[in-house]
Amino acid sequence: MLFNSNLFIFIFLPIIFILYHTLNYYRQINLAKVFMIFASFVFYAYFKYSLVFILIAYILINYIFYHLLMRYKSKLLLSLGIGLNLAILGYFKYKYFVIDNINNIFNLDIINPTILLPLGISFITFQQIAFLSDCYKYQRDIKTLVGGGILGFINFSLFVSFFPQLIAGPIVHYKDMMPQFKNPNNFILRYKNIALGLLFFTIGLFKKVALADYLAPSVDSAYAFVESGGVLNLIESWVLTHAYTFELYFDFSGYSDMAIGLALFFNIKLLYNFNSPYKSLSISEFWQRWHMTLGKFLKDYIYIPLGGSRVGKSRQYINLFIVFLISGIWHGAGWGFIIWGSLHGIAICIHKVYMSVFANVTWFKNRLNSKFYKVIMWIITFEFINITWVFFRATSINDALSVIKSMFLIHGQIVLSPNMQRLFQDNPLFAFGKWGEHFTIGQSAMLNAVLLMIAFVLLFRSSHLNIYKKFIFKDRYFILIGIMLIWCILKLNITAYTKFIYFNF
């Protein structure tokens, strides 16, 4: 079931909201939790009912390991639990990729049937790995929070299945989320949370429907054109890459905003996942602002256990590269994701070296806060991110390289006005090769949309945290929210519902 659908907005959500709060009002707290688990299973089953059995299996397996770790604080048990979770993820997500590459390398013909990828399996797996690790490190605290017997199983099942963050995060820790379900202050209707929930949900829905879905058809058409062997020209390639850069951001941050809003309807505060990442002045800053719960997971459970920055500069750079390589592999089973993760890992290392070399240079430190330096660093960072997203989106390495070649005129196709073409076509200084004459995929409207979104991202100053802290009840806010929500709903009834991009991961 999609957040951006009439079924969810007008039927599923109102029913869950009313019944859950009614049960809490009459102090049927545990029954309210059971009802939320059932509702989350229904939500998940709507995509394909058989997927619920995989979700239940995840819950049972990890609950068994929870009990074992509560009884025996054993690194072997922890390793087995983590290994089993990774094996399940590997089977569903990477089996086809691995066997396909073995067939290609060794010229074999191993039968490799396609397996349906369970939605959200990567997020669920990482969340369970974090939970088991916390069970080992904070044994007593986790036991107090989860409990035992039927009630413990209910609490844990709710933690895994809570529908707002089930499929695409944010990645949450048990100790951050589940105490909120036990807080008596959350058993009542809290109107500020409802208002804030509506605000976040509407902002997220607007990002998805008005921005991401506006860009998606042109992005899909352009990449389909490349997949069929077509070659983009200079303008088309740059418009395409920037369009996807913003489509991905507005799609995923839109989902995260909607998830935060939906959780607030039930008095649950989820962690924020984005903090204006495209304003970043370095690749390190970008990863402090983009998909923040994934970044925190990678830091806490991979980077620090590898030794972090405590093992010398050379080893630190290796650790950083490993973390981002794993991030690429986690995102998808394909060489494009591996290259994408590797490029970010290399860029992080280069930035660390760059900062350490010039850290004590007075001339350099005096210019760190200059506007010119910040603009240059923003352009470099943003365009590096923009280019690397090509490997993230393209269906093959050849397609990604084709787009990048077009961006840097290696294909030799550029679009100019007829007068400019006549001026330059006989001049050897501008003899790039074949002059492209089509600007069909990157229409001027698309170019205008991309430019407006750059301005929107740079000028919008309020972070989620500021909105939450400074929110006050004012009529003009609710009028604006109402207009946005009505417009989005009308848009939903004109165009087909589209799946969120990160459902694929």
- The span from the CA of 191 to the CA of 188, in Å, is 9
Better-predicted residue by pLDDT, 143 or 383: 383
pLDDT given at position 263 = 96
411 given a catalytic annotation: no
Cβ–Cβ contacts within 10 Å for residue 286, how many? Answer: 22
Cα distance between residue 180 and residue 365, in whole Å = 44
Mean pLDDT over 10-34 rounds to 95
Residue pair 286/385 in contact (Cβ under 8 Å)? The answer is yes
**Average pLDDT value for residue range 153-159:** 94
What pLDDT does residue 493 have?
82
- For residue 467, the model assigns a pLDDT of 63
For residues 190-194, average pLDDT: 89
Residue 315, pLDDT > 60, answer: yes
Amino acid identity of residue 167, one-letter, is: I
Residue 63 has pLDDT above 50, yes or no: yes
Which range is least confidently modeled, 134-148, 355-369, 379-393, 486-500?
Answer: 355-369
Instruction: Kindly tell me if the per-residue pLDDT of 67 is higher than 50.
Output: yes
Is the per-residue pLDDT at 451 higher than 60?
A: yes
Instruction: Compute and round to an integer the Cα radius of gyration of the chain.
Output: 25
- Is residue 453 predicted with pLDDT exceeding 80? no
- Give the mean pLDDT of 251-255: 93
pLDDT at position 435 is 42
Task: Tell me what pLDDT residue 419 has.
Answer: 53
User: Would the pLDDT of 154 be above 50?
Assistant: yes
Q: Whole-angstrom Cα distance, residue 171 to residue 191?
A: 26
Give the model confidence (pLDDT) of 318-352 as tens digits.
999 999 999 999 998 899 999 999 999 999 999 99
Which residue out of 331, 344, 351, 411 is catalytically annotated? 331
Tell me which H or E stretch contains 286. helix 283-289
- Which amino acid appears at position 218 of this protein? S
pLDDT tens-place string over residues 422-450: 544 555 444 444 444 444 444 456 666 77
Give the model confidence (pLDDT) of 159-187 as tens digits: 999 999 998 878 988 888 989 998 999 99
Which residue's structure tokens are 């990477």? Answer: 94
- Is residue 30 over pLDDT 90? yes
Amino acid in position 473: F
- Average pLDDT of the residues in 378-403: 95
At 343, which helix (H) or strand (E)? helix 335-358
Give the rounded percent of residues in the chain with a pLDDT score beyond 90: 50
pLDDT over 70 at 412, yes or no: no
How confident is the model over 383-391, as a mean pLDDT? 97
Of residues 211 and 421, more confidence is placed in 211
* C-alpha to C-alpha distances, 230 to 234, 245, 393, 394, nearest whole angstrom: 13, 21, 16, 14
**Is residue 361's pLDDT more than 80?**
no
Residue 457 pLDDT greater than 80, yes or no: no
| Averaged pLDDT score across all residues of the chain | 86
Residue with the larger pLDDT of the pair 409 and 204: 204
Task: List the single range of 6-10, 140-144, 333-337, 366-370 with lowest mean pLDDT.
Answer: 366-370
Per-residue pLDDT averaged across 36-46, rounded?
95
Q: Which of 198-212, 400-414, 422-436 has the highest mean pLDDT?
A: 198-212
CA 434-437-443 angle, to 5 degrees, is 135
Q: Say yes or no to pLDDT of 256 above 90.
A: yes
Confidence of residue 492 (pLDDT cuts 50, 70, 90): confident
Q: How much of the chain, in percent, has pLDDT values that exceed 70?
A: 88
Which one has a higher pLDDT value, 112 or 463?
A: 112
Check if the beta carbon of residue 277 is closer than 8 Å to that of residue 290: yes
3-state SS string over 57-124?
A: HHHHHHHHHHHHHHHCCCHHHHHHHHHHHHHHHHHHHHHHHHHHHHHHHHCCCCCCCCCCCCCCHHHH
* Mean pLDDT within 60-88: 93
